[in-house]
Structure 1
Amino acid sequence: MAQREISEETWERRRQALQQVRQWGDPALRTVAQPIDPADIDGELVAEAGRLIAIMDAALGVGLAATQAGIMRRYVVLREGEDGAGDAITLVNPSLEWQSEETDVASEGCLSLEGVWVDVERPVAVRVRALDLSGRELTIEAKGPYARRLQHEIDHLDGVLMLDRAPKEQRKAALRALREGVVMDAPADATEV
């Protein structure tokens, strides 16, 4: 997360929220999430998704996969819009239906890999198919940072981390920082999801 003016109280809420997010090395982050039967979309799932949104927001993130909270069910929560300031939504069983041939490289951070930033090449635009918390089918067409967030969170559901998509030297530096507990400097354009 890029440094900005944030109160001590907000930092403390972030610290507490991150204690509920699985961190690098936890096997949950490498586990493929189980699809959710549409008949199992119920009040319990809605409440669970609400809890994940609260964790994501308190951690100052813009996306969180259920697996990052140790829930091995295939859904994510994230903030809509290019800047991640839109409404919080839940996507059940999201899948990439289409991705553009055009790609770009941008710096990414992750709530489960705190303090680490790597460049990741991803398609610029995607179409994602999912269910909402009412069981209705959704199709989301996104580009830019919103498309990147969607891909990052869907990767989590498949047990894939941003480190797996980073250039070799950056991956090595990030792993060293994680092992040593060193925080890397966040690039000015970085987004933590």
Structure 2
Amino acid sequence: MAPLRIRVYGDPVLRRVAEDVTDIDGAMADLCQEMFTAMYEAPGIGLAAPQVGVSQRFFVYDFGDGPGVLVNPEITESDGEWTYNEGCLSVPELSWEIVRPRSIHLKAYDLDGNEVTLEAEDLEARLFQHELDHLEGKILLDYLDEDQRREAKRILRERAMSGPSRPPATGDGLSLP
């Protein structure tokens, strides 16, 4: 099977609000394993289903206590404020100082259909908020001021016109120059 392709800025799936997951099954578990592979090869610490062309509300991540999957996640509380230089696999090689809540309380389901609640702070909280943004059809460019957004779009247009800056991952786990 071909490795999953991470969708980049300009792909319409990244702007859609993802649908709730109504059935957690073996096919979804298999897709999550493929998403982990794509995420690690990118490399990243989180990957939302829309980033691989699936408009459903779940994401995979690997941070803190190890890998996990959150299905139909929602933030129930947030507190504080934290600015951090944030990037995105769907907007490769660019990053910006983004302000987000420092801590969150999140409710979701795991792949067994069990409800889970998580308290997250700092980078882990940012990771969850970032992936939730993808489920809402938001990307990092939405957090930028007008001048930053214009410059980012200019860079992304130039890249799109000149082709990829590096060969796509081959799926063998090796990074290519």
Scaled by the length of structure 1, the TM-score of the pair is 0.78
Distance of 2:113 and 2:18 partners within structure 1: 18
The one-letter amino acid paired with 2:60 is V
**1:116–1:178: 8 Å Cα contact kept in structure 2?**
no
Task: Give unmatched runs, 5+ long, in structure 1.
Answer: 1-15, 184-193
1:151 aligned to 129, 138, 143, which one? 129
Establish whether residue 35 from structure 1 lines up as the match of residue 17 from structure 2.
Answer: no
Note the aligned Cα RMSD (angstroms). 1.8
Fraction of identical pairs, as percent: 38
2:74 aligned to 77, 89, 95, which one? 95
Establish whether residue 163 from structure 1 lines up as the match of residue 141 from structure 2.
Answer: yes
Distance of 2:146 and 2:103 partners within structure 1: 25
Displacement of 1:158 in angstroms is 0.3
* 1:110-152 deviation per Cα after TM superposition (whole angstroms, max 9, x unaligned): 1111121112110000011000000000001000011001000
1:142 paired residue number: 120
Task: Give unmatched runs, 5+ long, in structure 2.
Answer: 165-177
The structure 1 segments of at least 4 consecutive aligned residues displaced by more than 3 Å after TM superposition are: none
**1:23–1:112: 8 Å Cα contact kept in structure 2?**
yes
Partner of 1:94: helix, strand, or coil?
strand
Number of residue pairs aligned between Structure 1 and Structure 2:
160
Displacement of 1:80 in angstroms is 2.3
Displacement of 1:49 in angstroms is 0.6
1:80 paired residue number: 63
Partner of 1:116: helix, strand, or coil?
strand
* 1:80-120 deviation per Cα after TM superposition (whole angstroms, max 9, x unaligned): 22xxxx411110001111110x2111111111111211121
The one-letter amino acid paired with 2:81 is T
Establish whether residue 66 from structure 1 lines up as the match of residue 49 from structure 2.
Answer: yes
* 1:21-61 deviation per Cα after TM superposition (whole angstroms, max 9, x unaligned): 11110000001110011xx1111111111110110001111
Establish whether residue 51 from structure 1 lines up as the match of residue 34 from structure 2.
Answer: yes
Partner of 1:169: helix, strand, or coil?
helix
1:20 paired residue number: 5
2:83 aligned to 105, 111, 132, which one? 105
The one-letter amino acid paired with 1:155 is D
Establish whether residue 124 from structure 1 lines up as the match of residue 102 from structure 2.
Answer: yes
Distance of 1:173 and 1:61 partners within structure 2: 24
Distance of 1:80 and 1:117 partners within structure 2: 19
